[in-house]
Amino acid sequence: METLQSVITPLLLTLRIATVSSLFVTLLGILIAYVLAKREFTGKWLADVLVTLPLVLPPTVTGYILVLLLGKNGVFGGIFFRITGDGILFTWQAAAVAAFVVSLPMMVKTATSAIGAVDRNIEEAACILGRSEFETALFITLPLAKKGIIAGCILSFARAVGEFGATLMVAGNIQGKTSTMPLSIYGAYQAGNNELANLLVLVLIVISLITIAATSKLGE
């Protein structure tokens, strides 16, 4: 029973964090991807670089930057503290923020390519027929790019599930509170509990495969 609980608790926490992260990644990622694919503006290259940066930075560096931003004296952490009276570091919400930051580039890169590949003649025809840009994007562009968008969702969710370095920096490895599946595997291995580590690894692989297979079906 104890072993089962040691698997269920981090599993549910990991799925919660990955789901919350992926929801925000999908919403913001599609918006950013559309702007990058369809707009020309000064500093576009810089926006692209900033979005891509967490993809190439070491996770610990990303985590350290997040610690500075989310701490009580940080830009975002200070606002959160003034509103709630609590700090955000070493909470599951901080882990969700870390997962969001490191997985957003995958969504944006994949969705940008898919949206940019949509035939502009079709979009222009929709505009000529009286569709607004918002309607064209919602009913023409995004549906035509759905496979790329779904692929981005898959990659970002999988990245959130497997996030380790940045999560450890901003949320720690607090048993039952911030100990996600990857952190629990690390903790079990460090404690010499290979049986639990093996079980956690197996469950994580199975969940990841099921998620990828199910989401891929939606894109057919």
Across the range 85-114, mean pLDDT stands at 93
- Close Cβ partners of 134 (under 8 Å, ≥ 6 residues apart): none
* Nearest to 119, CA basis, from 184, 43, 62, 37: 37
* Nearest to 37, CA basis, from 26, 47, 23, 27: 47
DSSP letter at 219? T
Output the pLDDT for position 154.
87
Across the range 76-89, mean pLDDT stands at 85
Percent of the chain at pLDDT > 90 equals 56
Output the pLDDT for position 83.
83
**14 lies in which domain range?**
2-218
Output the pLDDT for position 209.
86
pLDDT in tens, 112-156: 999 999 988 988 888 888 888 888 998 999 999 998 898 889 889
Across the range 154-160, mean pLDDT stands at 90
Output the pLDDT for position 130.
84
Whether the predicted pLDDT of 219 surpasses 80? no
Per-residue b/e over 40-76, b at no fewer than 16 CB within 10 Å?
eeeeeeebbeebeebeebebeebbbbbbebbbeebee
Give the number of domains in the chain: 1
Handedness of CA 188, 191, 193, 194 (dihedral sign): positive
Whether the predicted pLDDT of 220 surpasses 70? no
pLDDT in tens, 174-193: 888 899 999 999 999 998 99
Residue 34 sits in a domain whose CATH number is 1.10.3720.10
Output the pLDDT for position 41.
87
Gap between the Cα atoms of 145 and 196, Å rounded: 41
